[in-house]
Amino acid sequence: MSEKIKLMSHLVAGYPTDELALTAARALIAGGADILEIQLPFSDPSADGPAIQAACTKVLERKYRTADGLKFIETIHKENPDIPIYIMSYGSLIYTPGVKEFCKKAAAAGVKGMIIPDLPFDFDEGLTEACKENGMINIPVAAPSMSEERLAKLAGAGFPYIYAALRTGITGTDTTIDENTLKFLEKVGKEGSKIYGGFGISNGNQSAALASSVDAVVAGSVFVRLITENMENGEKLYEAVKSKAKEITHSN
């Protein structure tokens, strides 16, 4: 039996409804997800592919607000207090109410970490500090497009975890795990930060190729697509998402 692979799974809060999003979260956990990365819907995402962009648009059409997303997170946290939840969103969403205020509310909802791709690790508007004050971690994003010098600076900045985007561009299309990918991951983790690696991960072969180079594999668009395909039937949605999580984690 192959060893279980640690999975951080991505979910858009409130998509397609709060009830079905909760069904999907339960399915992910039942399928072996170790961490939930929950995206607060954003109107102009810079790194998200078509599946996640469309999901965000659908949720925002319902006048979904940050407070609704935090309430959704709180519901999941109360059901699954041992599963770490990270918020993924964009800078303006947390900057508008004030970074400190946002982090305080996120922590109160049960959030353990923040992933904000458009806030650079060294100009983060006080996010790292605000996370520390509230018992959370800031997880900066490393991309292969970074210069060697900047990548080395991030690797040596002392973050406990770094999210490594496995390629440039938008997520949702398949990523090939090759020698260059593994070399990039080696550089990101060179100074001891643990790595979450993702972007275009959709099957067990990819997660197996990545597993020894990361602390957890990240998968997102694949689950959003399954939710979209099965949103008319909650039971089918649950089974499809759970089954894919099992495949990616190599769980029985």
Catalytic residues: 37, 48
* Cα–Cα distance, 191 to 106 (Å, whole number): 29
Q: 30, 34, 36: which is closest to 12 by C-alpha?
A: 36
* Cα–Cα distance, 119 to 215 (Å, whole number): 23
* Cα–Cα distance, 145 to 245 (Å, whole number): 29
* Cis previous bond, 16, omega within 30: yes
* Cα–Cα distance, 196 to 161 (Å, whole number): 7
* Cα–Cα distance, 130 to 149 (Å, whole number): 27
